[in-house]
């Protein structure tokens, strides 16, 4: 088997069909679910995915490691349920997996939709992330959030096209996800002995807004850019506030 697409999921039934439709070129789709209560599993089954379920939530990095154990392909393509492969990216992936060069990993350029507008400012673009590698050579790190493929010694190549990222959905789910990510980030830092104060939360949130809206030209995206900067500042505040709450004495 040449190529496996791997997805970790929980309650992503609304997004999953568009993602799976764009994966018509892979040899298998592996879905590792962590307790969905919506129609996620039914959607995955309808597209012929191999479905597995895990107990508990170990964090994003360890969960991806679990998912990799179920994949049979020589190559792995990692994709989230709220992402869609463009035709250009599809062609690039199919060409890439014919390359016999060892220790070669490929980066997809993610283009993110923020409440109806694709963002190319605010540090969101280009957003090149490793998503394609040989199954036997690499795996994700142990980070609870903001995990990455551990690519020590790898050679990098960039894939053409875009990986479209529909991350926002509705406001409630977006804010809930933001708080969950902030809490996971704080857990990760606390586990490493890091601490923070309330002043850190304030200063980081202010600097995040300025960086996103001014220095990374978020103002070019108008109201969307302003809202993005505010939400990014809110996320930054929540990260450091959560770390303070977890480590205060």
Average pLDDT, the chain: 97
- The whole-angstrom separation of Cα 47 and Cα 16 is 10
Q: Per-residue pLDDT tens for 98-137?
A: 999 999 999 999 999 999 999 999 999 999 999 999 999 9
Q: Which two tokens stand for residue 112?
A: 């993110």
Pairing outcome for strands 104-114 and 117-118: antiparallel
- The whole-angstrom separation of Cα 161 and Cα 91 is 9
Whether residue 169 is predicted with pLDDT greater than 90 in this model: the reply is: no
Q: Per-residue pLDDT tens for 172-208?
A: 989 999 999 999 999 999 999 999 999 999 999 999 9
Q: Per-residue pLDDT tens for 21-31?
A: 999 999 999 99
Q: Per-residue pLDDT tens for 227-245?
A: 999 999 999 999 999 999 9
What SS3 state is found at 193?
coil
Residues 69/91, Cβ–Cβ less than 8 Å? no
| pLDDT on residue 210 | 99
Dihedral, 115, 118, 123, 126 alpha carbons, nearest 10: 150
Q: Categorize the per-residue pLDDT at 170 as very low, low, confident or very high, splitting at 50, 70 and 90.
A: confident
Whether residue 246 is predicted with pLDDT greater than 90 in this model: the reply is: yes
Query: Cα separations (Å) of 140 from 77, 95, 145?
Result: 12, 23, 11
Q: Per-residue pLDDT tens for 34-54?
A: 999 999 999 999 999 999 999
> CB count, 10 Å around CB of 248?
10
Parse the chain into domains and list their residue ranges.
Answer: 3-166, 171-247
Whether residue 96 is predicted with pLDDT greater than 90 in this model: the reply is: yes
| pLDDT on residue 249 | 73
Strand partners, 75: 3, 134
Q: What percent of the chain has pLDDT over 70?
A: 100
Pairing outcome for strands 117-118 and 128-134: unpaired
- The residue ranking higher by pLDDT, 177 or 215, is 215
Whether residue 70 is predicted with pLDDT greater than 90 in this model: the reply is: yes
- The residue ranking higher by pLDDT, 224 or 167, is 224
- The whole-angstrom separation of Cα 131 and Cα 149 is 8
| pLDDT on residue 189 | 95
Please, which residues have CB within 8 angstroms of residue 199's CB and are 6 or more apart in sequence? Answer: none
Q: Which two tokens stand for residue 186?
A: 């704080």
Q: Calculate Rg over the CA atoms of the chain.
A: 19
- In the CATH hierarchy, which fold is given to the domain comprising 3-166? Spore Coat Polysaccharide Biosynthesis Protein SpsA; Chain A (3.90.550)
Residues 91/19, Cβ–Cβ less than 8 Å? no
Strand partners, 30: 6, 50
| pLDDT on residue 103 | 95
């Amino acid at each position: 088997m040449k190529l496996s697409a791997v997805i970790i999921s929980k309650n992503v039934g609304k997004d999953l069909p568009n993602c799976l439709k764009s994966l018509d070129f892979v040899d298998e789709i592996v879905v590792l679910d962590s307790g969905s209560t919506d129609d996620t599993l039914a959607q995955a089954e309808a597209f012929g995915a191999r479905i597995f379920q895990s107990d508990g939530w170990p964090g994003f990095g360890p969960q991806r490691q679990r998912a990799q154990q179920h994949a049979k392909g020589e190559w792995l393509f990692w994709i989230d349920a709220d992402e869609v492969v463009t035709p250009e990216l599809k062609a690039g992936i199919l060409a890439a997996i014919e390359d016999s060069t060892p220790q070669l990993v490929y980066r997809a350029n993610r283009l993110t939709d923020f409440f109806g507008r694709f963002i190319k400012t605010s540090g969101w673009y280009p957003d090149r992330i490793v998503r394609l590698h040989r199954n036997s050579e690499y795996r994700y790190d142990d980070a609870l959030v903001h995990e990455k493929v551990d690519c020590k010694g790898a050679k990098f190549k960039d894939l053409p096209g875009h990986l479209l990222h529909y991350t926002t959905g509705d406001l409630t789910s977006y804010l809930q996800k933001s708080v969950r990510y902030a809490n996971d980030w704080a857990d990760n830092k606390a586990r490493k002995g890091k601490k923070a104060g309330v002043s850190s939360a304030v200063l980081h949130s202010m600097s995040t807004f300025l960086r996103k809206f001014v220095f990374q030209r978020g103002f070019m995206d108008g109201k969307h850019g302003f809202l993005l900067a505010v939400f990014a500042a809110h996320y930054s505040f929540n990260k450091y506030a959560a770390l303070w709450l977890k480590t205060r004495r």
